[in-house]
């Protein structure tokens, strides 16, 4: 069974014929066509557009009627000696419809003398060889009241060949295959709608037709020839995928520890009554794999061991990377879908897959540490998934999501922020939810145990990491142990237009120690993410929250919250974390007596942990030049 996807096609795909090239044959075949080869529409209701039939320009011996597809012999017949392979094409007349493919067929002409041709009278009955095909009928999907329309399959031979040899009468008869095919003179037509699957169920993959040809010779003798033709039925995509076995699969893993490309359970089989070619648009994909742990490797083949040809696709589930399955049950789905299926049939099949693990087999070193919960005296300590009551403390299911893909410059400094949960501020007070990084092959990243903020822990490891993409497996506990995989893409160089020209000798390298705008935007201080520090606010002297200061990231510093990352090193953002007692100058602290809520002028912080707020110039003052009198007096005194 073959498959095609163009809107039109030639039902006769190839013809081989022997033909004399002489004055007699030219006289006949310049008036009566050698053959008429016309296209069909591949869809039942698809009316054929206006098409033009063409032959290659380099062909000098045959020409085609562009409207009818009839092929005639030209006047250039004298020097034809070699076998010719000619392609007949059908193209849209207007040439504007680029979505329709060009239909082609092959014509193979073998020159032969008239004497040799007529010595083999079978040449008068049949082509030397011919290949036919028709599309599986979509009559079942047309209007129920529509009448069946027979399809023209093709001719058995040229109707003019009988005139080449001594006068004779040619008659054809259909000896077998009449259930689907009928014969009109020397032309084959379909007799009834042909359903690929129904035909397949009988053990036949195509209609087998036997034609009888009788030649009544002028001397009264009758010569008979029989020929069996195979008519290829092109399968339509009119069946959807189906699971061969059960719909739900539970695969128990030997160990929760897995490696990249480890096979998971047995292969899952999808079947389809259509051929693989008809199913070329079927998509097999994994969904609901929230941690992106698995992928699938699918391979298709056709089988007819039951005499019913069908396609089978075997999908093996594999792990995408190394890691630990930290949940006792991890479920996802494998869907086979084909939106191109025609007819009122299901277009999808879904396998529900769950991976089961024994959590006791997780190595102790790989288990996340869960912080103990504070409790009231005399009360038992335990976790519950219900609302708080007077008996226990709640660790409810908490929706925690990270960005799936993040990009980090290799030039990012220590404690620079990489990513955090979307709701990280709501997690700051939930110390019972503890985060760890279960997998980081780069060794460059850390995470705050509270709120789950990912940051650069080792700037040297980040700069020297050999790969460009790393997977961070983040785990935490609520009711269950959860996990999320972040794809970290490492980017060479620095952020656009960033230069680290300004240098300072300080232990902390905090951005907050820089007093002036120009210096700030050329200093790559602590917590910067591959760029320079940023200048925020105004030093105009007005008291308020818009005070001027140099910070690593204006999105988080200052935001009036000393978050868990800034707690790790308060020099990241002392504007949020400094104790109110260490702030000099006009200011107002946050409600927790930490950080600078409001101030006037510019606020700077030094290595000693103290901050000062007050008016400063926009730019660093230039050193004063000494006048000549002052210099002379110093010389005289000395």
Q: Is the pLDDT of residue 4 over 50?
A: no
Q: What is the pLDDT, as a whole number, of residue 91? A: 87
Q: Is 378 a member of any domain?
A: no
Q: Are residues 72 and 111 in the same domain?
A: yes
CATH number at residue 397: 2.60.40.60
CA distance 230 to 77: 33
Residue 206: pLDDT band (50, 70, 90) is: low
Strand ranges inside 304-411, DSSP E: 310-319, 323-324, 329-337, 348-356, 383-384, 393-394, 405-409
Q: What is the pLDDT, as a whole number, of residue 291? A: 86
**Close Cβ partners of 5 (under 8 Å, ≥ 6 residues apart):** 42, 101
Residue environment code for 148-166, b if the CB has 16+ CB neighbours within 10 A, otherwise e: eeebbbbbbbbbbbbbbbe
Most confident of 252-261, 274-283, 573-582, 611-620: 573-582
Tokens of 111: 């020159």
Q: Are residues 485 and 407 in the same domain?
A: yes
C-beta separation of 234 from 1 below 8 A = yes
DSSP conformational letter for 626? P
Domain residues for 42? 8-234
Among the candidates 298, 327, 361, a domain finishes at 361
Q: Is 500 a member of any domain?
A: no
CA distance 59 to 89: 13
Given the structure tokens 């409001």, which residue do they identify? 598
pLDDT tens digits along 25-76: 999 999 999 999 999 876 544 445 578 999 987 788 899 999 999 999 998 8
Query: CA 621: distance to chain centroid?
Result: 58
Q: What is the pLDDT, as a whole number, of residue 391? A: 34
Q: Which of 17, 7, 16 lies closest to 40, judged by CA?
A: 7
Start-end of H helices in 21-111: 23-29
Given the structure tokens 């897959």, which residue do they identify? 353
Tokens of 27: 């006289």
What percentage of the chain exceeds 90 in pLDDT? 45
Q: Are residues 457 and 533 in the same domain?
A: no
Q: Which of 261, 276, 262 lies closest to 314, judged by CA?
A: 276
Q: Is 376 a member of any domain?
A: no
Give 79 or 479, the one with higher predicted confidence.
79
- Kindly give the pairing relationship between strand 103-111 and strand 294-303: unpaired
Q: What is the pLDDT, as a whole number, of residue 134? A: 85
Give 111 or 80, the one with higher predicted confidence.
111
Residue 409 three-state SS: strand
Q: Is 438 a member of any domain?
A: yes
Q: Are residues 318 and 392 in the same domain?
A: no
Tally of domains in the chain: 4
35 class by beta-carbon count within 10 Å (0-12 exposed, 13-18 middle, 19+ buried): buried
Q: Are residues 247 and 211 in the same domain?
A: no
Sheet harboring 12-19: ordered strands across? 51-54, 84-92, 103-111, 12-19, 129-135, 222-234, 208-217, 168-176
pLDDT tens digits along 412-462: 999 999 999 988 888 888 878 889 998 898 999 999 999 999 999 999 999
Tokens of 516: 């002036």
């Amino acid at each position: 069974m073959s498959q095609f996807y163009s809107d039109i096609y030639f039902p006769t795909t190839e013809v081989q014929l022997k033909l004399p090239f002489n004055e007699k044959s030219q006289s006949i075949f310049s008036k009566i066509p050698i053959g008429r080869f016309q296209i069909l529409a591949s869809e039942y209701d698809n009316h054929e557009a206006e098409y033009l039939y063409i032959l290659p320009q380099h062909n000098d011996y045959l020409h085609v009627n562009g409207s009818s597809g009839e092929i005639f012999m030209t006047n250039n017949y004298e020097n034809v000696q070699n076998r010719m392979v000619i392609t007949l094409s059908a193209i849209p007349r207007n040439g504007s419809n680029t979505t329709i493919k060009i239909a082609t067929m092959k014509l193979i002409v073998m020159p032969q003398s008239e004497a040799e041709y007529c010595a083999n009278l079978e040449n008068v009955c049949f082509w030397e060889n011919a290949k036919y095909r028709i599309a599986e009928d979509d009559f079942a999907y047309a209007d129920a009241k529509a009448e069946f329309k027979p399809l023209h399959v093709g001719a058995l031979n040229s109707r003019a060949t009988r005139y080449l040899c001594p006068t004779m009468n040619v008659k054809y008869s259909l000896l077998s295959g009449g259930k689907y095919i009928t014969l009109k003179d020397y032309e084959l037509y379909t007799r009834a709608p042909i359903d690929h699957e129904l035909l397949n169920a009988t053990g036949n993959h195509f209609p087998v037709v036997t034609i009888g040809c009788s030649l009544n010779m002028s001397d009264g003798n009758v010569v008979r020839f029989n020929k069996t033709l195979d008519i290829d039925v092109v399968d339509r995509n009119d069946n959807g995928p189906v699971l061969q076995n059960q719909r739900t699969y539970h695969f128990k893993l030997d160990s929760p520890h897995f490696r990249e490309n480890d096979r998971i359970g047995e292969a899952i089989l999808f079947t389809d009554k259509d051929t693989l070619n008809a199913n070329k648009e079927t998509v097999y994909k994994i969904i609901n794999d929230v941690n992106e742990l698995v992928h699938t490797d699918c391979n298709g083949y056709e089988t007819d061991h039951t005499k019913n040809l069908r396609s089978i696709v075997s999908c093996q589930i594999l792990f995408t990377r190394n890691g630990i399955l930290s949940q006792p049950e991890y479920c996802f789905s494998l869907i086979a879908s084909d939106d191109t299926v025609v007819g009122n049939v299901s277009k999808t099949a879904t396998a529900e897959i769950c991976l089961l693990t024994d959590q006791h087999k997780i190595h102790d070193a790989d288990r996340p540490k869960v912080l103990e919960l504070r409790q009231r005296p005399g009360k038992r300590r335990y976790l519950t998934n219900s609302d708080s009551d007077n008996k226990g403390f709640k660790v409810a299911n908490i929706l925690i999501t990270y960005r799936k893909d993040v990009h980090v410059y290799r030039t990012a400094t220590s404690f620079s922020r990489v990513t955090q949960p979307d709701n990280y501020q709501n997690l700051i007070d939930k110390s019972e939810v503890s985060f760890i990084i279960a997998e980081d092959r780069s060794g460059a990243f850390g995470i705050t145990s509270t709120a789950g903020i990912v940051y650069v822990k080792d700037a040297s490891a980040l700069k020297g990491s050999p790969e460009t993409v790393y997977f961070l497996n983040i785990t935490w506990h609520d009711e269950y142990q959860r996990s999320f995989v972040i794809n970290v893409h490492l980017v060479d160089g620095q952020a656009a237009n960033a230069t680290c020209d300004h240098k300072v000798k300080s232990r902390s390298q905090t951005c907050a120690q820089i007093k002036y705008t120009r210096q700030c935007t050329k200093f790559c201080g602590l917590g910067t993410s591959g760029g320079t520090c940023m200048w925020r606010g105004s030093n105009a002297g007005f008291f308020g929250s818009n005070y001027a200061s140099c910070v690593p990231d204006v999105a988080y510093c200052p935001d009036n919250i000393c978050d868990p990352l800034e707690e790790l090193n308060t020099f990241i953002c002392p504007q949020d974390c400094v104790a109110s007692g260490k702030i000099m100058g006009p200011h107002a602290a946050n409600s927790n007596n930490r950080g600078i809520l409001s101030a006037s002028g510019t606020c700077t912080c030094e290595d000693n942990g103290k901050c000062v707020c007050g008016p400063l110039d926009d730019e660093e003052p230039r050193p004063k030049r000494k006048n000549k009198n002052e210099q002379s007096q110093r010389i005289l005194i000395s």
